[in-house]
């Protein structure tokens, strides 16, 4: 998605060979017009997939997920990383380890909001090692729902997540794929459509 790639090149800050900072439009301040375009792009790519629900994980997945939900006219559910005061029973849970932050969170979703009739589109801001996607897949499986595919705003192509998930036959649609962050420079990869 050209608009996304242009934004990364204009505003992304390379923090190291591994980490790209995009807090001016995705991880802290949010660019609503860009989110709207992102939502439209995901909706276009998954419009024939029979999506009934979008699943993401707090916090930075929520904005793109809501915009996609608006376009596809389906509800959006976000997995919580922390225990909620009101969300106490009938939970589906999974463990998600973050290599970046070196911490493990137990994520949870109420059984009420995902069930066996659902065809789920998963959306997240970053795909690195694929731990968040694996955790959400675990939850979808426990619910007996069907995973239609995964929409990712920025994939780090030099980390393993994308490759491992595609090898499993999962449809991954990334709006921008970073090939490398070496020498303080963002190198983008030409996206190969999965459909
Ligand atoms: P993984 O799920 O693909 O395995 O990713 P990983 O554990 O490496 O990432 C953990 C957190 O760091 C995730 O956010 C992920 O989105 C984010 N992240 C990973 N690589 C980058 C990067 O290069 N740049 C930025 N800006 N973020 C990165 P999170 O902890 O869930 O944070 P949030 O959603 O609450 O913002």
Q: 192 lies in a domain?
A: no
Residue 193 is assigned to a structural domain of this protein: no
CA 11 vs. chain centroid, Å, equals 20
With the most atoms of ligand 1 within 8 angstroms of its CB, the residue from 16, 21, 98, 182 to mutate is: 98
Asked if the structure places residue 32 within a domain, the reply is yes
User: Domain range spanning residue 119?
Assistant: 2-185
Express each pLDDT in 146-160 by its tens digit.
999 999 999 999 999
User: Is 164 among the domain residues?
Assistant: yes
Per-residue pLDDT reduced to its tens digit, 158-182: 999 999 999 999 999 999 999 999 9
**How does pLDDT run across 98-116, given as a tens digit for each residue?**
877 889 989 999 999 999 9
Helix (H, G, I), strand (E, B), or coil: what is residue 141? Answer: helix
**Is 18 within a domain?**
yes
pLDDT beyond 50 at 195: no
Rounded to whole angstroms, the Cα distance separating 92 from 74 reads 20
Task: Let me know if residue 194 belongs to a domain.
Answer: no
> Per the annotation, where are the binding residues for 5-phospho-alpha-D-ribose 1-diphosphate?
128-132
* Nearest-angstrom CA–CA distance, 168 and 152: 17
Whether this prediction's pTM lies above 0.75 is answered by yes
Asked whether residue 104 is assigned to any structural domain, the reply reads yes
**CATH code of residue 28:** 3.40.50.2020
Domain count for the chain: 1
Does residue 173's CB lie within 6 angstroms of at least one atom of ligand 1? no
CA distance 95 to 89: 17
Residue 190 lies in a domain: no
Tens-digit pLDDT profile for residues 46-80: 999 999 999 999 999 999 999 999 999 999 999 99
């Amino acid at each position: 998605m050209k608009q996304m790639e242009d934004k990364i090149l204009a505003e992304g800050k390379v923090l190291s060979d591994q980490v790209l900072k995009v807090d001016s439009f995705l991880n802290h301040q949010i660019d609503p017009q860009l989110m709207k375009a992102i939502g439209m792009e995901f909706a276009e790519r998954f419009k024939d997939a029979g999506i009934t629900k979008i699943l993401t994980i707090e916090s930075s997945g929520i904005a793109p997920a809501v915009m996609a939900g608006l376009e596809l006219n389906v509800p959006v559910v976000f997995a919580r990383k922390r225990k909620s005061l009101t969300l106490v029973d009938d939970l589906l849970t999974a463990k998600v380890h973050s290599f970046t932050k070196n911490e493990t969170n137990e994520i949870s979703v109420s059984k009420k909001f995902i069930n066996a009739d659902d065809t789920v589109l998963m959306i997240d801001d970053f795909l690195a090692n694929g731990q968040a996607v694996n955790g959400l897949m675990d939850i979808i499986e426990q619910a007996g729902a069907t995973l239609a595919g995964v929409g990712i705003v920025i994939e780090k192509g030099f980390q393993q997540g994308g490759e491992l998930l595609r090898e499993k036959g999962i449809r991954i649609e990334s709006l921008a794929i970073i090939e490398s962050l070496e020498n303080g420079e963002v190198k983008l990869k030409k996206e190969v459509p999965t459909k």
